[in-house]
Structure 1
């Protein structure tokens, strides 16, 4: 018998998503008879305790009997159970300073950490994640903020809707002005962005056409790697070479800033990937972007004027074009930024169901095997008190 535990999310602010829904637990208990599922009671989870109990899971605060523990956000270090296997988003891969103590505790307690973010297909594409619903909510909120700034239209808040289906119903009768929206990326986040663009009735146009004309109807263009980056010497683009040598590339986004009303940013970023533009560029007369929704939410990352984070309740802040200081939203002379780290929490049931389906399809059976395969091995950051070879570069990060 293998026992899986679904932990109570205790990071502040509390996350209301889950790795497995009650219905998915019921399916697993029926189709994987070697499994037992324990669930820590939680008052803030998007599914009620009784729904898990009704599905056949056991409610208990004590998860010490579990072989592996599934969460979403970082687990507070004092809550970690020694010598267990955990799966959650640790946010340590990029040496995030605020999570150094967490990884140190994981090593001290000889915990095996499998990070969802590091689960990848053979071609390097992320295997599971909440990106699609981050794109859905990020696109909606970006459009909402532009409507609030200009007064040209109004949109409901996402978190006040019970489901994605109910959110779609709020778009009936929506009439948008002749705006131009640029969205960046080609992964799950970008799929969510394009879904909302299409549901709102924007027309997709090619990047070259987008750059050269205005339209009598609202349009968007999707900028992928080849559109955004060019090798400094050759002017070409190779995805493999770009990911191996991003410092040899320059970003080609700036011309789009003179044609774009709203930027929806969904690209992955880490140093030394070039930023979309420089902070000082926003003072130029031809930089006409009024609203940026940075779904990736990397502080001072691909969007260098993403200076702080908002919340689900107050997702928008401003950045003054001249001083580059944070302002209230919608002020004259500023650009509005939408940057929230837990966007999928606005549609937690839909996002959790989507995540759990991927977890079951791609990960769970391999996780239950005595000898875990290469996919899980590549995603294992730490085991038995040591960093795994692929993550040895974190040694200095955790030693100071």
Structure 2
């Protein structure tokens, strides 16, 4: 490996407790010769002292933009702050910028103006296009868990981070709980598997749909379920699962809709019945009064189980960071960034390297 400097940044979103790199895996990177700088963060689930003990250097919160060397690779999870206007570094995070999402063009222009590059974690894939590092399991688990709690009248706000054991305990059915039906779409993927496990913990045997069942969608059967957990991230145009006209259907039994994917704003959104995500402070929004339909659409669900989800993700990312270079998954990430800029007619100000 050529000399690599990784800079783990603080997350600007106040509800983001996760990290893409846990202290034990940071130690393995340092032992492999990687220079690792970690910004202080009051909300990160792992304290800065654990990173120091692992051999990392410590930097002030948000200092990457002014202090990180030009060749450092900035590592994070969620959105960047609005400033600086130009981004000269290579950044690893979930950019949500390649499917015409709101703000996508502005973000890519910042990279192009500075000569930096976005290495989007969503597009860190193998030769068959399978994602190599993902929070999918815990996103699906939490999406289904919140749907169960809401449907049973036990979801309270604001949401706060918890542990797997505490959450599973809250899912166990009580004597007063009524039975209900649940449908998981995308049931065979990571998120779908997590959703099925959470529903099982709640005593629910869900209906499971995947590609075969959605190829010719049985919409009346979908609307006949009480709860829907969507775990599908469409990569091409497909008919929407729930449409505005379905909300007025008097035969609709569907009362709780949990959208794990949260592809709002994208033309590939399979649930185009809402225009903004929900938040930890207000996790549920009523989409329709009669018959009622409640929406849960939180785009950082795994942060509610920050230790478990961070540990799993970091374990998947670690071997990829140890092989960071110009080819393979990272090369594909960089090419996808260039392609996105070309599609938007954005002229890059430099030639970022991996």
Shorter-chain TM range is 0.7 to 0.9
Structure 1 residues 271, 318: CA separation in 2 closer, same or farther (over 3 Å shift)? farther
Match of 1:396 in 2: 345
Equivalent-residue separation in structure 2 for 1:304 and 1:72 (angstroms): 25
Equivalent-residue separation in structure 1 for 2:286 and 2:346 (angstroms): 33
CA offsets, 1:12-33, max 9 Å, x none? Answer: 4552221101122123323x1x
TM-aligned CA deviation for residue 201 of structure 1: 2.1
Query: Number of residue pairs matched?
Result: 335
Task: Select the residue among 359, 377, 395 that pairs with 2:317.
Answer: 359
Equivalent-residue separation in structure 2 for 1:4 and 1:195 (angstroms): 35
Match of 2:301 in 1: 343
CA offsets, 1:49-74, max 9 Å, x none? Answer: 22222222111135423621111112
Task: Select the residue among 81, 84, 94 that pairs with 1:89.
Answer: 94
Q: State the structure with more CA Rg.
A: 1
TM-aligned CA deviation for residue 180 of structure 1: 1.0
Match of 1:99 in 2: 104
Structure 1 residues 397, 194: CA separation in 2 closer, same or farther (over 3 Å shift)? farther
CA offsets, 1:216-239, max 9 Å, x none? Answer: xxxx11100111113xxxxxxxxx
The secondary structure found in structure 2 opposite 1:170 is helix
Equivalent-residue separation in structure 2 for 1:127 and 1:78 (angstroms): 30
Structure 1 residues 69, 81: CA separation in 2 closer, same or farther (over 3 Å shift)? farther
TM-aligned CA deviation for residue 81 of structure 1: 7.7
- Could you say what the CA RMSD is over the residues aligned between the two structures, in angstroms? 2.5
Match of 1:226 in 2: 212
Match of 2:270 in 1: 302
Equivalent-residue separation in structure 2 for 1:75 and 1:225 (angstroms): 34
Equivalent-residue separation in structure 1 for 2:87 and 2:105 (angstroms): 18
Equivalent-residue separation in structure 1 for 2:121 and 2:246 (angstroms): 36
Task: Select the residue among 327, 335, 340 that pairs with 1:373.
Answer: 327
The secondary structure found in structure 2 opposite 1:202 is coil
Task: Select the residue among 110, 115, 121 that pairs with 1:110.
Answer: 115
Structure 1 residues 17, 381: CA separation in 2 closer, same or farther (over 3 Å shift)? farther
Equivalent-residue separation in structure 2 for 1:397 and 1:296 (angstroms): 28
Match of 1:314 in 2: 282
Equivalent-residue separation in structure 2 for 1:18 and 1:398 (angstroms): 32
Please tell me whether residue 132 in structure 1 is matched to residue 137 in structure 2.
yes
Equivalent-residue separation in structure 1 for 2:172 and 2:250 (angstroms): 36
TM-aligned CA deviation for residue 271 of structure 1: 5.8
- Higher RCO (CA < 8 A, seq sep 6+): 2
Structure 1 residues 200, 72: CA separation in 2 closer, same or farther (over 3 Å shift)? same
Structure 1 residues 398, 373: CA separation in 2 closer, same or farther (over 3 Å shift)? closer
The 5-angstrom pairing of residues 193-212 of structure 1 reads 193-203=195-205
Equivalent-residue separation in structure 1 for 2:284 and 2:155 (angstroms): 14
Structure 1 residues 173, 181: CA separation in 2 closer, same or farther (over 3 Å shift)? closer
TM-aligned CA deviation for residue 172 of structure 1: 4.5
Match of 2:45 in 1: 46
- Residues 131, 189 of structure 1: 8 Å contact kept: yes
Please tell me whether residue 272 in structure 1 is matched to residue 237 in structure 2.
yes
Unaligned runs of 5+ in 1: 149-153, 204-219, 231-251, 321-330
Normalised TM-score (structure 1): 0.77
Match of 2:163 in 1: 163
The secondary structure found in structure 1 opposite 2:272 is coil
- Residues 20, 310 of structure 2: 8 Å contact kept: yes
CA offsets, 1:180-224, max 9 Å, x none? Answer: 100100321111101101222223xxxxxxxxxxxxxxxx11100
The secondary structure found in structure 2 opposite 1:78 is coil
The 5-angstrom pairing of residues 166-177 of structure 1 reads 166-172=166-172, 174=174, 176-177=177-178
